[in-house]
Structure 1
Amino acid sequence: MYSKKTPQAPPIPRGGACNNCKRRKMRCDGQRPICGPCSRSSSLVDCQYGRTHADRLQEQISVLETRLEQLQNGPNDSNTRPNPLALHDPYASRNFPVLSHNTPTENELIEAFLPYTSQLGFFLNAKTLLDAFSNPMSDPTQRPTHALSASMVLLGAYFSRYLIQNSSITLELIETYLLKAVQATSLGLSESHPQRILHTLQANIVIAHYFFLHNRVIKGKWHLDHAVSLVLSARLHQIRSSSVQIQFPNIYVQNVSEEGEQINAMWTVLALNCLWSAAEGIPASIAYTTEQRRIDTPWPLDSGSYSETTLPPSLKASHTIQKFLSGIPDEGNSILALYAKATILFEQTTVFWKRYTDGTQPPSSAARTFTNATESRDFQSSYQTLSSLLTHLLNNIPPVDGNQFRPYLEQDTKLRLLTIHVVVRVTIIRLQCTFSAYFPFRGPVLLEMANGIMECLTKADLDSIFLDPIMAVGTP
């Protein structure tokens, strides 16, 4: 019998295989954005060509290692730098310099930090902590731990120098406060304070923001990752879970307000992790879409809003984020909840964008091609879902300058809303960039979002204010 051979695809140029096929020594068909072997494999989901994100990270590590060697050993020419910088262990005990009598007290520095707590991911009641810290006769269990107080002093010193001209706070003094905060936070879980887990988590978030403010993103994400580890190990992602019958013993709470702080802690950490991971172009550390790490904790409320009415004993929750991503209506309308939703969609859109553009912006080809009809349907379905969620969220964010029901907003609330508006609009821009630059409906949407960002900036008083450090980050 005559058998007709199936025509084979022409061989791809030498070196044109994807990174997965090169590593596994497999025959690659060179299809983009996902080649045939990767699309047929359940484990090879990240099909990339050329230099990957891991390659770029390795280059950065090599540069940092070279720089560290230079700092430790100094240049070859001893006349250029006679005293090379000596590195030290930040967690080792050391003698800190004696502070001058003109230096502000720790109470004054913490008070200088209070106006910016919302922008810096502070989920505890900072005013209550300061009052307890200032009163030597207060209940020790109500005072902040050494880790938390040291981190608050650090940011207070930063704002004192940032806002006051000719301040007695010097860069050397801020470095001293930084070393104290890092060392205290590393030992935070060994303290005897009943809230040591939550306070250590908060301290890591505060220090992470300090590093983000100084564009030291690697160190900032290191402390953020520690906060993520604490959230997962303390099971804060399972608060009020319908599938968990017993509370984790280390996060036992006595009242609804304390439980509310734990809920806000979880969502603050998750939001920051989504935000800064997406800014780096990588997935979040918390795999919240998987069954093992799904978020059952209910959406957060604004600080001071927790009561037996808003958080009744019978309240149970499950699959909080999965339901949101499926378009199921919920009660997550607080400022923190809107912020968390914006960052989740930013992270989800970034993963989508990386998958279908190979990390290029705009896409390199004028017309999108798919290997099969299933891939095309998956693209259209994901795009429509993300677009619908973003549009709905954008329409539900309160305006920066208030409305007829809330004509006067506090400055802190305005800045928080400004960040949410910008993140959502940047996310919509990124979503549109999954299409070719020649896509006919892309241009008007990009222009509308850009104008919306500028309008929000004009409504916020940008004189002598502090913005969330993510606002200064250019997305990849």
Structure 2
Amino acid sequence: MSSKSTVPVPKKFVFKEPTKQLRRGKACLNCRFHKIKCDGVKPVCGSCTRLPREEECEYASASSRTKELEQRVTRLKARVQELESPEVTGSGLQLADPHFAVNERVSTLSVPSSRAQSISDHSSSSSRSSFDPLLGSPEPSISIINMLLDNFLPFGSQFGFFLHLERFKSAALMNAPFGDDSRPSPALLNAVYLWGAHLSPVDALQSNETIFLNRALQHISVELPNALNSAQIMHTIQAEVLISTYFFRKNQLLEAEFHLNGAVSLSQSAGLHQIRSDRVFSSPVVKILMETEAFLPPAQDVIEEGERINGFWAVYCLQRLVSITVGNPSYCFGGLDNPFRDIDTPWPCEYEFGLYNDGAFGRSTIEQFTHGQSPIFEPVFDLSSYTKAVVLLHHVIRLAHKLNRGLNSEDAYAAFTNDCIFFESLLTRFHSSLPSLDIDNSFYGFSGPTRDSLVVTHVLIWCAYMQVQKIYSSCGVPDALERCIGTAQNIIHTLADANHLHLNPIVGTLCAMACSTIGDELVRTETVTQWDLETLGNQIDTSVLRQGLEAGIATMALLAMDSPVMKYQMDKLQNAYPFI
């Protein structure tokens, strides 16, 4: 007797060695596919118990290989649909690339080509309602790519897209393999496809949103530490910005900050904050640090240099807006506020027109602007206007936080007052330089600033001005409260009339800021006594405040229809002011 039979095994684990006939006729589908021995134990065979697989252990009643394949393909397609739509099926699992896995498995089976086509047609007809543009390829077909690009590129500037549109589109549609150096990087392409699917009005394309997200995350994790040449670095930064903005819009702020941190770190290590700097470094240590970081070779042309300049400011603006949304604008994030890393890069502009050919150099770009040393021409509106509006809002909110933390001396209070007066004047002059919102749409070009960006720029400046008036009102400045509430009402009215602003995730924060200003004043007015009202004066009728807050929440509800971050902001408002 062999030693194997003498081993004392508990009865419940004893199984009989299957015969060859049993393995041929009774093996599970997993074992048949992998061509391994199967003991035929049901409901789960020994092989599937020892080596758990994604597919469940399943037996076919018929012995027809073709029928088994058809059943397997149908089952896998149903599983793919379930994993792609966990909100419908109740499954919490995610699948990075199910379609490619299914196709790869089917393609390896040794069946006649005509029969394989029949199986493919059968699986396609069984899931016609879930159109699959990714089957059999690491990226969609050229026609689907065109659709995704058309969905995304017209709104790309709202999500931080800074690359040259025509160059990017030509490279994306180039007849070259996926991952070829002549095309955008895989992470960037999938990030763009992700936004194209997200913005698509076609449900079948939207259903692939999770696949593009998983692919973008997989590729960015590889590309971020391995970006070496100029194209790889810029494509990785662009992909990180798009992924971060996507998570921002989805109200996944931790994930947004994580990918934003990658974009900030890579842009600074590439020296994008020191483009065209005329700085002379007095410290050898700092000089060596800056020289080792700025490893990008000189730009090949004005467009490539413009992409680098605009790329840095896209990262900068996104970081400031995310910090405002999470409520911590004074947080030093990713070294942007490091005193040894002053920003000398010139303001962004439309590089197609050769505006960077003047050979100009810069130093302390933001400091010069916020100290009134940069000229403000009027009227002017270009790509720098939005960036400057973000800078001004961030600085004013930091002033408000400084007041909330308290001022310890008369000198500190005097300096704070001077800062408020200066920024109010700067905001007024800058806003007067912007074109009116009533300007003809023919003013805007597809590749330059859009009307949506002009509206957001106006709203950013109004929010900053509203914050200054709110500070004045708390300090007892006459008429400041009326200006503050009037500006908040103007913000709400403007956002309610906009068409595509719901796409930009910062719009929810700006609208919530205006609503909170009105709501806080309404709460304060309704809680003070009549004597306090007569003593304090300078009050606004509660009916006006209530109407303004109701209009603001109605606007938020409109904006939040397809934006989780705006839905989150609206829920916070409704919880803060349940009486509305």
**TM-score, length-scaled by structure 1:** 0.69
Cα deviation, residue 235, structure 1? 1.0
Residue 123 in structure 1 maps to residue 123 in structure 2: no
Superposed CA offset, 1:334-385 (max 9, x none):
5321111111111111211112124xxxxxxxxxx85432122122112112
Residue 434 in structure 1 maps to residue 434 in structure 2: no
Q: CA 1:211/1:371 → structure 2, altered by over 3 Å: closer, same or farther?
A: closer
State how far apart, in whole Å, the 1-side matches of 2:165 and 2:442 are.
26
Counterpart in 1 of 2:372?
A: 327
- Give the count of matched residue pairs: 371
State how far apart, in whole Å, the 2-side matches of 1:95 and 1:251 are.
38
**Contact 1:157/1:174, CA 8 A, preserved across alignment:** yes
Counterpart in 1 of 2:214?
A: 179
State how far apart, in whole Å, the 1-side matches of 2:394 and 2:388 are.
10
Amino acid at match of 2:467: R
**Contact 2:372/2:426, CA 8 A, preserved across alignment:** yes
Higher relative contact order (CA 8 A, sep 6+): 1
State how far apart, in whole Å, the 2-side matches of 1:97 and 1:330 are.
60
Counterpart in 2 of 1:230?
A: 266
SS in 1 for 2:389: helix
Cα deviation, residue 175, structure 1? 1.0
Residue 417 in structure 1 maps to residue 454 in structure 2: yes
State how far apart, in whole Å, the 2-side matches of 1:422 and 1:471 are.
9
Counterpart in 2 of 1:263?
A: 309
**Contact 2:313/2:387, CA 8 A, preserved across alignment:** yes
State how far apart, in whole Å, the 2-side matches of 1:177 and 1:386 are.
43
Amino acid at match of 2:451: K
Deviates more, 1:410-419 or 1:188-197: 188-197
Counterpart in 2 of 1:366?
A: none
Where structure 1 has 5 or more consecutive residues not aligned to the other structure, the ranges are 1-82, 359-368
Q: CA 1:285/1:207 → structure 2, altered by over 3 Å: closer, same or farther?
A: same
Residue 250 in structure 1 maps to residue 311 in structure 2: no
State how far apart, in whole Å, the 2-side matches of 1:331 and 1:300 are.
15
State how far apart, in whole Å, the 1-side matches of 2:102 and 2:382 are.
41
Residue 316 in structure 1 maps to residue 400 in structure 2: no
Amino acid at match of 1:126: L
State how far apart, in whole Å, the 1-side matches of 2:172 and 2:277 are.
34
Amino acid at match of 1:387: E
Superposed CA offset, 1:416-469 (max 9, x none):
011111111112112222245554322221133134325544664x2x665311
State how far apart, in whole Å, the 2-side matches of 1:102 and 1:430 are.
49
Q: CA 1:170/1:316 → structure 2, altered by over 3 Å: closer, same or farther?
A: closer
2:145 to 106, 112, 115: 106
Cα deviation, residue 280, structure 1? 2.0
Amino acid at match of 1:399: S
Deviates more, 1:318-327 or 1:377-386: 377-386
Cα deviation, residue 94, structure 1? 12
Q: CA 1:409/1:466 → structure 2, altered by over 3 Å: closer, same or farther?
A: farther
**Contact 2:272/2:345, CA 8 A, preserved across alignment:** yes
Counterpart in 2 of 1:346?
A: 393
State how far apart, in whole Å, the 1-side matches of 2:351 and 2:394 are.
25
Superposed CA offset, 1:35-94 (max 9, x none):
xxxxxxxxxxxxxxxxxxxxxxxxxxxxxxxxxxxxxxxxxxxxxxxx984689x8x999
Q: How much is the aligned-residue C-alpha RMSD, in angstroms?
A: 3.4
Q: Higher Cα Rg: structure 1 or 2?
A: 2
Q: CA 1:195/1:445 → structure 2, altered by over 3 Å: closer, same or farther?
A: same
**Contact 2:381/2:434, CA 8 A, preserved across alignment:** no
State how far apart, in whole Å, the 2-side matches of 1:344 and 1:117 are.
21
Amino acid at match of 1:434: I
Counterpart in 1 of 2:481?
A: 443
State how far apart, in whole Å, the 2-side matches of 1:140 and 1:450 are.
50
State how far apart, in whole Å, the 2-side matches of 1:249 and 1:93 are.
39
Structure-to-structure mapping, 1:54-453, within 5 angstroms: 85=92, 102-103=132-133, 105-136=144-175, 141-160=181-200, 163-164=201-202, 167-171=203-207, 173-189=208-224, 190=226, 194-243=230-279, 248-282=294-328, 283=330, 285=333, 291-307=339-355, 310-313=356-359, 315-330=360-375, 334-358=381-405, 371-402=408-439, 408-409=443-444, 413-437=450-474, 439-453=477-491
Q: CA 1:347/1:287 → structure 2, altered by over 3 Å: closer, same or farther?
A: farther
Cα deviation, residue 200, structure 1? 0.3
State how far apart, in whole Å, the 1-side matches of 2:273 and 2:504 are.
25
Amino acid at match of 2:269: S
Cα deviation, residue 109, structure 1? 1.5
State how far apart, in whole Å, the 2-side matches of 1:121 and 1:174 are.
19
Superposed CA offset, 1:394-423 (max 9, x none):
1112222326xx864358611001111111
Q: CA 1:187/1:446 → structure 2, altered by over 3 Å: closer, same or farther?
A: same
Cα deviation, residue 183, structure 1? 1.1
Amino acid at match of 1:266: F
State how far apart, in whole Å, the 2-side matches of 1:319 and 1:149 are.
34
Q: CA 1:120/1:427 → structure 2, altered by over 3 Å: closer, same or farther?
A: same
Q: CA 1:193/1:293 → structure 2, altered by over 3 Å: closer, same or farther?
A: closer
**Contact 2:269/2:294, CA 8 A, preserved across alignment:** no
**TM-score, length-scaled by structure 2:** 0.58
Counterpart in 2 of 1:26?
A: none
Amino acid at match of 1:391: T
Q: CA 1:200/1:97 → structure 2, altered by over 3 Å: closer, same or farther?
A: farther
Is the helix fraction higher in 1 or 2? 2
Q: CA 1:265/1:244 → structure 2, altered by over 3 Å: closer, same or farther?
A: farther
**Contact 2:274/2:344, CA 8 A, preserved across alignment:** yes
State how far apart, in whole Å, the 2-side matches of 1:287 and 1:168 are.
42
**Contact 1:401/1:414, CA 8 A, preserved across alignment:** no
**Contact 2:261/2:334, CA 8 A, preserved across alignment:** no
State how far apart, in whole Å, the 2-side matches of 1:316 and 1:155 are.
36
**Contact 1:207/1:223, CA 8 A, preserved across alignment:** yes
Amino acid at match of 1:202: Q
Counterpart in 1 of 2:521?
A: none
Superposed CA offset, 1:245-268 (max 9, x none):
969333432112111110001111
Superposed CA offset, 1:134-190 (max 9, x none):
121599554211111111011011111xx33xx21244x211110001111122243
SS in 1 for 2:438: coil
Cα deviation, residue 122, structure 1? 0.6
**Contact 2:176/2:183, CA 8 A, preserved across alignment:** no
State how far apart, in whole Å, the 2-side matches of 1:410 and 1:457 are.
22
Amino acid at match of 1:187: V
Cα deviation, residue 210, structure 1? 1.1
Q: CA 1:142/1:95 → structure 2, altered by over 3 Å: closer, same or farther?
A: closer
State how far apart, in whole Å, the 2-side matches of 1:137 and 1:180 are.
19
State how far apart, in whole Å, the 1-side matches of 2:198 and 2:336 are.
34
Superposed CA offset, 1:105-124 (max 9, x none):
23432232111111111100
Counterpart in 1 of 2:24?
A: none
Amino acid at match of 2:327: G
